[in-house]
Structure 1
Amino acid sequence: MAPKVACWHLMLLLFYFLVTACHLFAASHGATDAEILVNFKNSLSTNSLLHDWNVSGIPPCTGGSDNWVGLRCNDDGTIDKLLLEDMGLNGTIDMDILMQLPKLRTLSFMNNSLEGPMPEVKKLASLRNLYLSNNSFSGKIDEDAFDGMNSLKEVYLAHNEFTGEIPRSLVLVRKLTKLSLEGNQFGGNLPDFPQENLGVFNAAGNNFKGQIPTSLADFSPGSFAGNQGLCGKPLPACKSSRKKTIVIIAVVVVAVVALSATVVLACIRFGDAVVALSATVVLACIRFGDGKKEAQSSDPFGDGKMGDRGQLHFVRHDRDRFDLQDLLRASAEVLGSGIFGSSYKAVLLDGPAMVVKKFRHMSSVGKEEFHDHMRRLGALSHPNLLPLVAYYYRKEDKLLVSDFIENGSLASRLHGKRSPGKPWIDWPTRLRIVKGVAKGLAYLYKEFPTLALPHGHLKSSNVLLDDTFDPLLTDYALVPVVNKDHSQRFMVAYKSPECSRSDRPNRKTDVWSLGILILEILTGKFPENYLTLGKGGDADLATWVSSVVREEWTGEVFDMDMMRTKNCEGEMLKLLKIGMCCCEWNLERRWDLKEAVAKIEELKERDNDDWSNSYASEGEVSSSRAVTDDDFPFSVTS
């Protein structure tokens, strides 16, 4: 019996190997795209939103048509883009499966919960766009992680947990145009990037140190914010090491003398000497732009299911109608990713450009309540509000559609990289912006008399500028439909003193945000605490302004670009006082909006003689005296 049993076992083993070999051969040579995608789905821990990925149904692509969620297809029926954003995916990415899709050119897993080390993306040598932002990838990226990726143009790795230095293979990707690394734990020195067409770069919120290389010096200071060891243009200059070297030499000399004395006077005991060296790098001018990313969109507007069952609800009757499918077919660009979700520019076929904002943190509001509030927003009409055009409702996601404003945001104008021919913002323009913002805010206060926060998220990136540089407020009056825990953690108004201490906003809380915005416009400096996650409560900009105007003079406060305008320093000082009165920590002493708007309306583009002569003799207010408590009888510190 033993030989028969052995023979039987041998036959079973051979059968097993044959079956395994057939599976491997099919996977590598004969597997369909549907089978490959299903295998990839099964490799993930959570894939509930990929339920229509099924080999027994319709194929993923039919010609150029996309039949499965998260795909973009080529005309020949192959897969061009895999776009699995905002799907709650867990697990790791198996590149061995994806490399079986030879024409895959764009890969996006943004806004999920994927983890593990950096995926082996070099196995997709022909990849052009890689988006991995807002996940939980971690660890050091291997030096050769991007070897051979000669077609790669856009890499987004922001808001993960990567460590170590930027890999050399990434620096040498010759076609690289956009690189987003912010919000990780990268360290070491920033390398010199040789690419001439690198137009987007962001390394904020890491642990980089040393001199910023000249190849990156023209990017916004906001691209380097939060790296305490960085210095050099566009940040303050690096401190000279000469003085430190002299101190070190002196310490060495003293140590040598002490050692000699010890040898000579062996019986004399010396106490320990501790030499403390300290160096402080103060980033006095943190600036922050919109981080405009004109990346080709991954499926920006949902998970593919919207187009079948959902519809856009138009709240304005003065616009041409289009449907959700028109948006899905539109050419799209990623404008950015904020605290609510992602924003996209969609250019409709034979139509205008629209902005679609996808909101992820409105799930607690009921359907009817949401519809009612959107209709109320659609009924608003004011020259300083960007009107809501349409919206889409689904329990998990909401879309708000508005016009695209070519000039961009006030934040990008104040803090962004200035391109050739881009004008600086003079004092008359800044004053017009402040007046327009105040009017728009006053209108919101009138239309929402029962809301504690008629705006709730007033900041420079939510102030757009039209072609005449008049301001348009966006993201207004959303507090009633945003999940409360999210609004308390991230919305700007909740960074005011009363909210950081007790989570109790009131009708003066928006005034605080207006005051911070005024100080930002006057100084050209970005409020650093707005960069932090969670409630800041630290009135860094207001405190800095208060300390400078009391110790030196307002010339140290005002943005030098604005100071090119002559005979306006008196009016600037008036606006500075208004901003500080809006930033009063004591609620009872803080101005209400009506008083602030009235004072703003009184401001003029040029000084009158009485004001100028009271502060300077020849019509200049350069450095004649410091401001006293009689000028600003209030406090901006707790």
Structure 2
Amino acid sequence: MALRRAYYCLLMLLVLANICFVPLLGDTNAQILMRFKASLSNNNALNNWVNESSLCSWRGLLCNHTDQTFYGLRLENMSLGGNIDVDTLFELPTLTSFSVMNNTFEGPIPEFKKLVKLRALFLSNNKFSGDIPDDAFEGMTKLKRVFLAENGFTGHIPKSLANLPRLWDLDLRGNSFGGNIPEFRQKVFRNFNLSNNQLEGPIPKGLSNKDPSSFAGNKGLCGKPMSPCNEIGRNESRSEVPNPNSPQRKGNKHRILITVIIVVAVVVVASIVALLFIRNQRRKRLEPLILSKKENSKNSGGFKESQSSIDLTSDFKKGADGELNFVREEKGGFDLQDLLRASAVVLGSGSFGSTYKAMILNGPTVVVKRFRHMNNNVGKQEFIEHMKRLGSLTHPNLLPLAAFYYRKEDKFLIYDYAENGSLASHLHGRNNSMLTWSTRLKIIKGVARGLAYLYESLPSQNLPHGHLKSSNVILDHSFEPHLTEYGLVPVMSKSHAQQFMAAYKAPEVIQFGRPNVKSDVWCLGIMILELLTGKFPANYLRHGKGRNNNADLATWVDSVVREEWTGEVFDKDIMGTRNGEGEMLKLLRIGMFCCKWSVESRWDWREALGKIEELKEKDSDEEYYSSYVSEGDLYSRTMTKDEFSISVTN
């Protein structure tokens, strides 16, 4: 018995020794991070890495604020350089995200494959160079996001990168990668960009459904979705070529030259005459639309950045709060003074207030929206709680709300910045871009998913978005859409909302004086028609109530379709889409059912999302659809190509 007691006492001493002394065998996260900081050059931006007890307040650290658990480093825009000590980072057991974007690191890529728990790696906009070994990502099975853009990487795309099983976001643009594109194990991506490299050869079949912009700037690439590959054999290039100096050859050259000159002259003269005629006719026909676009540019702030810098200090002076209120779990990496010192330009000035792009020194680029017409009856605490609720929303198709600044007269909301501007700017010519059918389909699917998420996350609100329109859909570098200005109806002035917000243009507001749970779906339907036709919804330009505020665009599409179901309603930029017209017609019908005048006949958000998700880039088995819009199920009757042609003719 005494021996057993002695045994238990010894066991307890060993357990206590393990608890008390094992932590002393290894460094704390703070000590490890300080050693990592020492390996960096120009690390003045990390001067607040001092107090171990407040680790999560250190600049650039990502922490879960629920339990203060450290999980990542976001050391962006800090002018850092030197050596990325991966061996030291390996000692951080909870490190899953690492970003040093927009710094000055150079040389070959570090051995990140040692960090097998890493889920996100961001190295874009540095000076890394050289070939990346084929095994550089070996064993990183949890890695989902890899951003290596705008560096000097060369050689082939590493096979271990293509074999990552969970890869979701990949951005390799702006390097000098060469050779063929490998077959990627992952087939579905949220972001995918290989543009502006030196890649060549056929694009793998698994990537043929990607947007052409993902491969732009690689002169040697061919195959879908780019130009077809040249199959001409070598023997053809070796065929006998006639002697260019023979008399017969010279005579032929003169005759051909004279003929070409005459033909070119005739074509030029005819083209000038035709263009003048078309321009004159089009000006007469589209003059109202041009005026509408000008008015929209004025009322919605336009679509183009002002190039003159501005000072945000005057807008923020005399605020009721002395600091920015961040609403997301991770810290913003900047404060009010950083924002006031930022270089800023005007993005627009609309009915709600002004919008600025602010480029924070050693910090992120953000969008600052000033709202002058919010509901003064909403108290400060109620407003703060609502902003926190919006800040907690996370979805790939929402533009995240980062912070807000409160004062009674007006409020400032700070969002993340997306570099490709608004959908409106691309549809209506301000960005000189052409959106393909596949890109438009990708955009509308993202918009529908984002709207569905708002319906699910804000069930108590009749208008979970309230202001859904093309100028409030922001596109990132891969043309993924992000909704903005969502969830603001509860804090907006009611009179201002009725006069300007998109959902208040719905027919039920005209009929019954108030919107309902399907009013956001009506906005989705109008956006679908705008996306397909390229025409701006003129009803958004009119303020106040009245039956003429009905969807002019929907009325026009409906009148054309009922007379003759034709692809002429589509935007000229997608008219030539091969084998996609059937799917485009499906989307057109979805749009029309989403913006039905009768609320009872209008689809709800679940039905709209379901039908949109079924759409594909190309027609299946060349199925076409009936030449009229019935009040029943649009998908109950399919026709062959010949049957469709007969129905339209008759």
Corresponding residue number in structure 1 for 2:405: 392
**TM-score, normalising length: structure 1:** 0.52
Residue 402 of structure 1 pairs with residue 412 of structure 2: no
Q: Is the 8 A contact 1:552 1:625 kept in 2?
A: no
Could you tell me how far 1:396 is from its partner in structure 2?
A: 0.5
The answer to whether the Cα contact below 8 Å between 1:327 and 1:348 also exists between their aligned partners in 2 is yes
Correspondence 1:431 to 2:444: no
Aligned mate of 1:495, from 482, 490, 505: 505
Instruction: Give the 5 Å matches for 1:240-259.
Output: none
Counterpart for residue 282 of structure 2: 237
What is the alpha-carbon distance in structure 2 between the residues aligned to residue 396 and residue 360 of structure 1? 7
**Which residue of structure 2 lines up, in the alignment, with residue 412 of structure 1?**
425
* Unpaired segments ≥5 residues, structure 1: 1-230, 240-279, 629-638
Q: How much does 1:516 deviate?
A: 0.2
Alignment partner of 2:395 out of 374, 379, 382: 382
Do the aligned partners of 2:310 and 2:343 also contact (CA within 8 Å) in 1?
no
> Once the 2 structures are TM-superposed, how far is the Cα of residue 470 of structure 1 from its aligned partner?
1.1
**For the structure 1 residues 368 and 627, does the alpha-carbon distance in structure 2 shift closer, same or farther, using more than 3 Å as the test?**
farther
What is the identity, as a one-letter code, of the residue corresponding to 2:527?
A: L
- 2:535 and 2:642 map into 1 onto residues whose CA distance is 23
Shift of 1:550: 1.4
Determine whether 1:559 maps to 2:604: no
Structure 1 segment 30-179 matched on structure 2, within 5 A:
none
Q: How many residues align?
A: 355
- The 5-angstrom pairing of residues 401-550 of structure 1 reads 401-419=414-432, 422=433, 424-535=434-545, 537-550=549-562
Q: Is the 8 A contact 1:360 1:398 kept in 2?
A: yes
Amino acid at match of 2:592: M
Please say if residues 455 and 476 of structure 1, whose CA atoms lie closer than 8 Å, have aligned partners that are also in contact: yes
**AA paired with 1:393?**
Y
Taking only the aligned residue pairs, the percentage that are identical comes to: 59
Contact 1:291 1:336 (C-alpha < 8 Å) held by counterparts: yes
Alignment check: 8 A CA contact 1:356 1:401 kept: yes
The alpha-carbon deviation at position 523 of structure 1 amounts to: 0.3
- Distance (whole Å) between structure 2 residues aligned to residue 470 and residue 457 of structure 1: 19
Q: CA deviation at 1:318?
A: 2.7
Counterpart contact for 1:307–1:325, Cα < 8 Å: no
2:590 paired residue number: 578
Deviations 1:215-271 (A, max 9, x none): xxxxxxxxxxxxxxxx999896245xxxxxxxxxxxxxxxxxxxxxxxxxxxxxxxx
Q: 1:503 to 1:410 in 2, by over 3 A?
A: same
Higher helix fraction: Structure 1 or Structure 2?
Answer: 2
Match 1:337 to one of 341, 349, 352: 349
Question: Cα gap change, 1:309/1:618 in structure 2, threshold over 3 Å: closer, same or farther?
Answer: closer
Please tell me whether residue 349 in structure 1 is matched to residue 361 in structure 2: yes
SS of the aligned residue for 1:450 comes to coil
Question: What is the Cα deviation at residue 298 of structure 1?
Answer: 3.9
**Aligned-partner residue type, residue 442 of structure 1:** A
Query: What are the equivalent positions in structure 2 for 1:303-322 lying under 5 Å apart?
Result: 303=315, 305-306=317-318, 310-322=322-334
SS in 2 for 1:392: strand
Offset, 1:310: 1.7
CA displacement, residues 469-492 of structure 1 (integer Å, 9 cap, x when unaligned): 111000001000001111011101
Tell me: CA distance 1:624–1:568, structure 2 relative to 1, closer, same or farther (3 Å). Answer: farther
* 2:413 matches 1:368: no
Work out the CA distance in 2 between the residues paired with 1:234 and 1:352: 45
1:392 maps to amino acid: Y
Structure 2, unaligned stretches of length 5 or more? 1-275, 628-637
Distance in 2 of aligned mates of 1:474 and 1:601: 22
Distance 1:427 1:453 in 2: 29
Q: Over residues 130-174 of structure 1, what are the superposed CA-to-partner deviations in whole Å (9 max), with x where a residue is unaligned? A: xxxxxxxxxxxxxxxxxxxxxxxxxxxxxxxxxxxxxxxxxxxxx
* 283 and 300 in structure 1: CA distance in 2 versus 1, 3 angstrom threshold: same
Aligned CA distance change for structure 1 residues 469 and 234 (closer, same or farther; 3 Å): farther
Contact 2:321 2:405 in 1 (8 A): no
- Partner of 1:562, secondary structure, is coil
Which amino acid is the alignment partner of residue 615 of structure 2? L
Amino acid at match of 1:391: F
Q: Say if 1:527 and 1:351 are closer, same or farther in 2 by CA, change over 3 A.
A: same
Give yes or no for contact 1:426–1:564 (8 Å, CA) kept in 2: no
Deviation at 1:374, TM superposition (A): 0.1
The residue type paired with residue 414 of structure 2 is V
- What amino acid maps onto 2:504 in structure 1? Y
Contact 1:316–1:379 at 8 Å: present in 2 too? yes
Structure 1 position 304, deviation (Å): 5.0
Matches of 2:277 and 2:420 in 1, distance apart?
Answer: 29
CA 316–595 in structure 1, closer or farther in 2 if over 3 Å, else same = same
Offset of residue 330 of structure 1:
0.7
SS in 2 for 1:519: helix
Residue 342 to residue 578, structure 1, CA distance change in 2 (3 Å): same
Task: Give 1:294 deviation, angstroms.
Answer: 1.6
Deviation per CA, 1:252-298: give whole Å up to 9, x if none.
Answer: xxxxxxxxxxxxxxxxxxxxxxxxxxxx8774686566332324244
Match of 2:500, as an amino acid?
F
Q: CA contact under 8 A between 2:332 and 2:402: conserved in structure 1? A: no
- 1:604 deviates by 0.8
Change (3 A) 1:493 1:613: closer
In 1, Cα distance between the equivalents of 2:410 and 2:279? 38
Partner SS state of residue 340, structure 1: coil
Alpha-carbon contact 1:297-1:333 (below 8 Å) kept:
yes
Partners of 2:582 and 2:625 within 8 A in 1: no
CA 350–367 in structure 1, closer or farther in 2 if over 3 Å, else same:
same
SS in 1 for 2:369: strand
CA distance in 1, matches of 2:563, 2:552: 17
Distance 1:370 1:627 in 2: 59
For 2:643 and 2:576, the matched residues in 1 are separated by 13
> What letter is aligned with 2:520?
D
Which residue identity is paired with 2:535?
Answer: K
**Shift in alpha-carbon separation, 1:581–1:393, aligned structure 2, 3 A:** same
Task: Please say if residues 320 and 407 of structure 2, whose CA atoms lie closer than 8 Å, have aligned partners that are also in contact.
Answer: no
TM-score if structure 2 supplies the norm length? Answer: 0.51
- Partners of 1:297 and 1:344 within 8 A in 2: no
Give the drift of 1:554: 2.5
2:334 and 2:363 in contact (8 A); partners too: no
Q: Deviations over 1:396-427 (max 9, x none)?
A: 110000111110000000002344xx4x1111
Answer whether contact 1:408 1:465 (CA < 8 A) is retained: yes
The verdict on how the C-alpha distance between 1:235 and 1:495 changes in structure 2, with shifts beyond 3 A counting, is farther
Kept after mapping to 2: 8 A contact 1:459/1:513:
yes
Amino acid corresponding to residue 514 of structure 1 in structure 2: L
Verify the 8 A CA contact 1:442 1:594 in the aligned structure 2: yes
Q: Answer whether contact 2:622 2:641 (CA < 8 A) is retained.
A: no
Q: Structure 1 residues 301 and 570 mapped into 2: Cα distance closer, same or farther (>3 Å)?
A: farther
